[in-house]
């Protein structure tokens, strides 16, 4: 068997909230481990035991469940005394800590005639060699032992997880998906806070819809255990053409973003979703200056969440590598440049942004929303959904 150590945030909640969160995360852990939910049980306040072989692949999947801090391969020791526990720990860890530094942590639940510090000192003494040192702050290895009644579990290996909150413990959000680095990382950040994420993608003649959805599918298949997101495809070409006809070149980029936000708001409201998510990072492009972000927010009533606002680009790319979407996102095409090579506005007043966006008739948005293609991400495969098709929603 192996265990999942849950996020410290879960452990700090009230007992009632802990129970609700653990009830939510248990089937996700079971799904990731490839077992039925009855083979996952709560061991202590912040640990789940998974009754299954601790293969590398299985542990890696469990370590991608939001709310899991670590997946741990454990060695079980029953009916022990301190000497036999120390001997069993040395059998597991002796060779690994023979050189370098190590620290010992023993946590216990139940009544014992010894304290956790007594066990830590004894285990440390049997692990000590002439070529290693004890470091209780930043050791090369942490030797972790959990004692529950008359049973002890010695952690052999651990795979770090994302921590955060279990998916589904917060309300769903709608992510504006481009297929590049930023939007998928922003979606991951909201998932890490417990929000199921659905997606809206605006197709343009210079965009690759299948590519963008493939990025979302990679995110979902690796990190979305227990959720089933929907994708909303919107043909934004009519809006783009209307912008070209009615908006001066320097105002087109921010106008495009305003109209995307207004359209996404419409989709969210129709589906009972309370907030939008974007990958905006402050100052990254002309539509992401503080002035223009204020103008976009002023154009809609629904909250626009921006979890990457203070991130630098290299930090976003590094996070995408951790998530596993970086290579795919690197091949994405950017949204079309509508400025025709002319300088674009970066600090247009709110009234000017609103005036230019108002030049696009509401009927244009009404039309493209009425023709959306909506489907479960799990039903998608390349080429499955195109606007020349008519599919049930």
User: What sign has the CA pseudo-torsion 377, 382, 385, 391?
Assistant: negative
The count of C-alpha atoms lying within 13 angstroms of the C-alpha of 50, restricted to the half-sphere facing its C-beta, is 32
pLDDT recorded at residue 198: 98
Residue 188 near residue 319, CB atoms below 8 Å? yes
C-beta of residue 206 within 8 angstroms of C-beta of residue 236 = no
Distances in Å between the alpha carbon of 261 and those of 85, 89, 176, 238, 293?
A: 60, 57, 8, 16, 11
User: What is the distance between the alpha carbons of residues 166 and 193, in angstroms, rounded to a whole number?
Assistant: 7
The answer for residues whose C-beta is within 8 angstroms of residue 369's C-beta and 6 or more apart is 234, 263, 266, 267, 270
Q: Round to whole Å and give the CA distance between 97 and 156.
A: 12
Residues of the chain with pLDDT under 70: 205-207, 334-336, 339-342, 388-393
Distance CA 300, CA 303 (A): 8
3-class DSSP state of 204: coil
pLDDT for residue 388: 63
Kindly report, residue by residue over 21-34, the tens digit of the pLDDT.
Answer: 999 999 999 999 99
pLDDT recorded at residue 332? 80
Domains and CATH numbers, the chain: 2-160 (3.30.2130.30), 173-379 (3.40.50.620)
Residues ≥6 apart with Cβ < 8 Å to 173: 190, 195, 196, 197, 198, 273, 274, 275, 276, 277, 305
pLDDT of residue 336: 65
The pTM for the full model equals 0.91
Query: In the structure encoding, which two tokens stand for residue 385, read together?
Result: 């959904």
The sign of the dihedral angle between the CA atoms of 282, 288, 290, 294 is: negative
Contact by Cβ (8 Å): 198, 168: no
Longest CA span, the chain? 82
Closest CA to 174 of 193, 190, 185: 190
Beta strand spans in the chain (E): 2-6, 40-44, 47-50, 68-78, 100-109, 132-134, 141-148, 151-160, 173-176, 197-203, 230-235, 276-277, 304-305, 373-376
């Amino acid at each position: 068997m192996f265990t999942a150590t849950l996020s410290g945030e879960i452990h700090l909640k009230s007992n009632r909230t802990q129970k609700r969160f653990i009830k939510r995360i248990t089937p996700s852990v079971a799904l990731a481990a490839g077992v039925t939910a009855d083979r996952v049980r709560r061991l202590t306040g912040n640990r789940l035991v998974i009754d299954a072989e601790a293969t590398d692949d299985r542990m890696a999947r469990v370590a991608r469940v939001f709310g899991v801090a670590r997946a741990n391969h454990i060695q079980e020791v029953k009916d022990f005394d301190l000497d036999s526990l120390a001997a069993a720990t040395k059998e597991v860890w002796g060779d690994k800590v023979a050189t370098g530094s190590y620290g010992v942590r023993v946590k216990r639940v139940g009544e014992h005639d010894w304290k956790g510090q007594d066990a830590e000192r004894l285990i440390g003494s049997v692990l000590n060699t002439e070529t290693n040192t004890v470091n209780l702050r930043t050791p090369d290895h942490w030797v972790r032992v959990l004692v529950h009644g008359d049973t002890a579990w010695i952690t052999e290996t651990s795979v770090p997880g994302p921590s955060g909150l279990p998916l589904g413990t917060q309300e769903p959000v709608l992510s504006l998906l481009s297929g590049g680095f930023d939007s998928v990382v922003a979606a991951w950040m909201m998932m890490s806070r417990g929000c199921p994420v659905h997606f809206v993608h605006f197709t343009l003649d210079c965009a690759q819809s299948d590519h963008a959805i493939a990025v979302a599918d990679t995110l979902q298949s690796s990190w979305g255990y227990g959720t089933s997101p929907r994708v909303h495809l919107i043909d934004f070409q009519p809006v783009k053409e209307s912008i070209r006809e009615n908006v001066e070149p320097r105002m087109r980029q921010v106008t495009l973003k305003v109209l995307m936000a207004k359209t996404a708001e419409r989709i969210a409201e129709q589906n009972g979703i309370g907030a939008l998510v974007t990958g905006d990072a402050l100052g990254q492009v002309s539509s992401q200056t503080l002035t223009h972000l204020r103008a976009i927010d002023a154009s809609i009533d629904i909250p626009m969440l921006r979890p990457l606002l203070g991130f630098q680009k290299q930090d976003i790319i590094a996070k995408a590598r951790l998530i596993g979407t970086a290579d795919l996102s690197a091949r994405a095409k950017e949204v079309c440049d509508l400025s025709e090579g002319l300088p674009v506005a970066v600090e247009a007043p709110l009234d000017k942004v609103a005036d230019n966006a108002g030049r696009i008739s509401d009927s244009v948005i009404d039309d493209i929303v009425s023709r959306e293609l909506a489907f479960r991400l799990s039903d998608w495969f390349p080429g499955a959904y195109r606007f020349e098709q008519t599919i049930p929603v």
